[in-house]
Structure 1
């Protein structure tokens, strides 16, 4: 009986460690406070100047790495497949991921307007 209980407690502990570490994989990309959002915007540098959507100024942090390859090397758990890529975080982790700028803009408008 004690062996089963110990095994169960160890399993729960290991599962909680895995879950806790999953959002710690990219703390530099996440906002610090509850209710804040940040954006990872991976774009094709060969396309030239890309206009910066005004709604992107309303998040707490925008990270724009130099390439998809760099991003996947630094943050492989995000599993980004192509550019442009938009990943939105809250203080607990990823809340939205898309490859469509309009979808990212609409999502940000919805969550930022809801929080006002």
Structure 2
């Protein structure tokens, strides 16, 4: 038994001692870049007072609809193809209480967001559709 145990212990000791514990240079650099990108995104979202309204991806927008109870925006294909998240509030007063820094004055209102902040604010559904047709998310 001793003859088998000693070679196994010596072999394991050599394997553990020969392992490289330093990270590969490319991996170290990419990890630092990822951390910097994450910090930049966090800082830009922190500057905007309502980060929950911002778009989650670069390929789409986020939309806040206020007071348009007659037109179900979720059924409009021209809007849905470029807007990922839609939040609808039925009354102007609710939006003014929830988002006072957006300075919403009229109802209905359509406010479009990218990952940095407001990119469009208007009160006409046709204008919003035209804006989405002409502009792509960044």
* TM-score, normalised with respect to structure 2: 0.58
Contact residue 57 and residue 115 of structure 2 kept, 8 A: yes
Contact residue 92 and residue 107 of structure 2 kept, 8 A: yes
Which of 40, 45, 63 is the matching residue for 1:39?
Answer: 63
Kindly indicate whether residue 112 of structure 2 is the aligned counterpart of residue 88 of structure 1: yes
Paired with 2:68 and 2:114, the residues of 1 have a C-alpha distance of: 25
Divergent runs of 4+, >6 A: none
Higher relative contact order (CA 8 A, sep 6+): 1
Larger CA Rg, structure 1 vs 2 = 2
Equivalent position SS for 1:35: coil
Q: CA deviation at 1:56?
A: 2.1
Query: Which residue number in structure 1 is paired with residue 86 of structure 2?
Result: 62
Paired with 1:57 and 1:41, the residues of 2 have a C-alpha distance of: 13
* TM-score, normalised with respect to structure 1: 0.68
Root-mean-square deviation (CA, aligned residues, Å) is: 2.2
Number of residue pairs the alignment of both structures matches: 92
Q: CA deviation at 1:29?
A: 1.3
Query: Which residue number in structure 2 is paired with residue 50 of structure 1?
Result: 71
Equivalent position SS for 1:81: coil
